[in-house]
């Protein structure tokens, strides 16, 4: 007989930053840190939309981390490229914010400024799939 593991939903780390800070603040022996854990997270982590094409979740991530720490991603082959592109291209974000998440943040994080040409202005330029 094969035993299957029980899969429990795990809360997403960015959405638990407040709780981590709060629990550490209330701890009997709080860690001696120069900044709250949330500040270290905001300075040192980036997240992607990989497999999560949910506008409210994206907006919450932007509000929590800033648009410079969020990147568009699909999680291919597990998610559909066209569905992701249509969702992302249709977001009601200012063009500069959309472009940062679509392209610029990854270029900066991965150190690709000298290797990649700039993408043309306009929605859909990064994916090329929403018109298919």
The catalytic position among 21, 68, 75, 80 is 75
Strand partners, 71: 48
Nearest one of 48, 119, 46, 49 to 83, comparing CA atoms? 49
Helix segments in 1-104, DSSP class H: 17-26, 37-44, 55-65, 81-89, 95-99
Q: Does residue 21 have an active-site annotation? A: no
Residues classed as catalytic: 75
């Amino acid at each position: 007989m094969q035993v299957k593991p029980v899969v429990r939903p795990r809360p997403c780390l960015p959405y638990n930053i407040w709780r981590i800070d709060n629990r550490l603040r209330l701890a009997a022996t709080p860690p001696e840190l120069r900044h709250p854990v949330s500040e270290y997270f905001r300075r040192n982590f980036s997240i992607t939309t990989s497999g999560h094409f949910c506008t409210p979740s994206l907006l919450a991530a932007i509000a929590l981390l800033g648009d410079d720490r969020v990147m568009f991603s699909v999680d291919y082959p597990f998610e559909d490229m066209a569905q992701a592109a249509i969702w992302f291209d249709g977001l009601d974000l200012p063009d500069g914010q959309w472009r940062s998440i679509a392209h610029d943040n990854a270029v900066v994080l991965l150190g690709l400024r000298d290797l990649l040409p700039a993408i043309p202005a306009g929605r859909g330029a990064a994916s090329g799939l929403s018109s298919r």
